[in-house]
Amino acid sequence: MRFKRQTISVEEAVGRLLSDLGRLGEEQVGLYEAYGRILARDIAATSDLPPFDRSPLDGFAVRAEDTAGATVERPIPLQVVETIAAGAVPVKEVTPGTASRIMTGAMLPPGANAVIMFEQTEKPGEMSQEVRIKRQLTAGENLSRQGEEVRRGSIVAKAGERINAGTLAILATFGYARVPVVRKPRVGLLSTGTELLEVDEPLVPGKIRNSNAVMLSAMIAETGGVPVLFEGLPDELPLAKKRISACLDQVDLLVTSGGVSVGDYDVMAYLTDEPDVRLLFNRVAIRPGSPTTALVYHNKLICALSGNPGACFLGAYLFLLPVLRALSGGGKAQAKRIKAVLGETYDKPCPYPRFLRGRLTEENGALYVWPDRNDKAGNLCTMAKSECFAIIPPGGRGKQAGEIVEVIPHALPGWSRGD
Ligand code: AMP
Ligand code: MG
């Protein structure tokens, strides 16, 4: 299997990854801990919204009939019977010839069918027994009716939705102090490579520090998973199988970096030849990262990403994150693709679609993508500023500046951060 590989598309690879994924169970969390989690159930309105008829502004609750013919020149006087603050329950009825002073959000008194704003009455600042109305109103004007936005029992948020600030406001409105959310997937992280040093170790000849583990752990956490970091794995096959088995017991799925290629010490590639391992794929039509591999072992999924930092970043984005979203029952499976104008020519030939990290700009309503020039396979420093992957189709000619290319945005463009 190591040398005999069947190439599949990104879509096919994601399809195979998702095909036999179960969904994780649910748990209850406090509302203040629910931000970013995935709703496990549909959420129903526990009351009408608004829960009572109320005034949307500061003014006077009146009977529209009583305002007929009112103008600035010929204001109509009404007797003020009550002042209703937000939170209070009115005690007086608005009868013919009367009005109640009412504040924004306060409950509408019985008998009233319209509210006139202070600015359309004479001397609104004076707490007098009488108000003079300067405009004619129609019944129902300036009212928020009970249930006009939401009816009790209707679904206000759906299972699978990621809880954002707006969702939290909805949950609070309907009294959900505890929220049913999907359990976070525990994602094991195993870096392979005898050359890898811990971050706090000094450099020695031939070795490099492990940068993939912390990068992947951030991507996992950002997508709602719990990264579980395992001790690095040297490139030794007998050790690998035992260690991977032990890791799998503790997690919902495992992500590895490195060792998927055809090198003599590529442990993950060797693993695909083991009889108790089910191979999902071991070559995808992408650059960088074509040897990206996926396996099922002990009934658990292993996403085996290339160790090359750029390929690892791309592979995590294209393959791992959709798995995490699907496990949680939310989000679109495939990364969203949009179209943009290529800012400058890229003519390096490639047998597979090439995914170039880049940045996005907008000019006169058109979206431009600017691939990083510094795209050598092992380079990693442009990852921090990357906003998207520009996809250059396979073939000998690449794409010219001004041509349209597909783009996968993966971070908010800099323009929204003001840089
Ligand atoms: P591999 O996929 O194991 O063939 O590794 C490809 C390249 O990525 C090699 O140059 C490795 O040294 C490098 N590499 C592998 N794992 C990591 C890692 N965790 N952090 C940084 N670089 C890595
Ligand atoms: Mg390696």
Query: Is it true that the peptide bond before 291 is cis, omega within 30 degrees of 0?
Result: no
pLDDT at 127: 84
Distance in angstroms (rounded) separating the CA atoms of residues 372 and 383: 9
Phi, psi of 170 (to 5 degrees): -65, -45
Predicted pLDDT of residue 124: 85
Q: How far is the CA of 265 from the centre of ligand 2 (A)?
A: 7
Domain definitions of the chain by residue range? 10-24+184-327, 27-49+148-182, 59-133, 338-417
CATH topology of domain 338-417: Beta-clip (2.40.340)
What CATH architecture does domain 59-133 belong to? Beta Complex (2.170)
CATH of domain 10-24+184-327: 3.40.980.10
Q: Which of 383, 260, 310 has its CA nearest to residue 5?
A: 260
Q: What angle do CA 207, 209, 212 make, to 5 degrees?
A: 125
Going along 288-414, which residue ranges are E strands?
A: 293-297, 300-305, 338-342, 354-363, 366-371, 388-392, 404-409
Q: What is the pLDDT of residue 67?
A: 98
- List the chain pLDDT tens, one digit each, 419 residues: 677 899 999 999 999 999 978 889 999 999 999 999 999 999 999 999 999 999 999 999 999 999 999 999 999 999 999 999 999 999 999 999 999 999 999 999 999 999 999 999 999 888 889 999 999 999 999 999 999 999 999 999 999 999 999 999 999 999 999 999 999 999 999 999 999 999 999 999 999 999 999 999 999 999 999 999 999 999 998 899 999 999 999 999 999 999 999 888 999 998 888 899 999 999 999 999 999 999 999 999 999 999 999 999 999 999 999 999 999 877 667 788 999 999 999 999 899 999 999 999 999 999 999 999 877 777 888 899 999 999 999 998 899 999 999 999 998 877 654 44
pTM value? 0.89
Instruction: Report which ligand 1 atom has the smallest distance to the Cα of 191.
Output: 19
Half-sphere exposure of residue 101, counting CA atoms within 13 Å on the CB side? 19
pLDDT, position 179:
98
pLDDT at 376: 76
Give the number of the ligand closest to the Cα of residue 209: 1
What pLDDT is stored for residue 417 in this prediction? Answer: 47
Ligand (nearest to CA of 210): 1
Q: Which residues line ligand 1 (CB under 6 A)?
A: 191, 193, 195-196, 208, 210-213, 257-261, 263, 306-309, 378
**Whose CA is closest to atom 5 on ligand 1?**
307
For residues 197 and 203, the answer to whether their CB atoms sit within 8 Å is yes
267 CA distance to ligand 2 centroid (A)? 8
CATH class of 27-49+148-182: alpha beta
Distance 307 CA to ligand 2 centre (A): 6
Among protein residues, the one with the nearest Cα to ligand 1's atom 16 is 307
DSSP β-ladder status, 98-102 and 43-44? unpaired
What is d(CA 233, CA 94) in angstroms, rounded to the nearest whole number?
79
Contact 277, 295 (CB under 8 A): yes
How far apart (Å, rounded) are the C-alpha atoms in residues 193 and 257? 8
Sort 36 into a burial class: Cβ within 10 Å, 0-12 / 13-18 / 19+: middle
User: Are 227 and 187 in contact, with CB atoms under 8 Å apart?
Assistant: yes
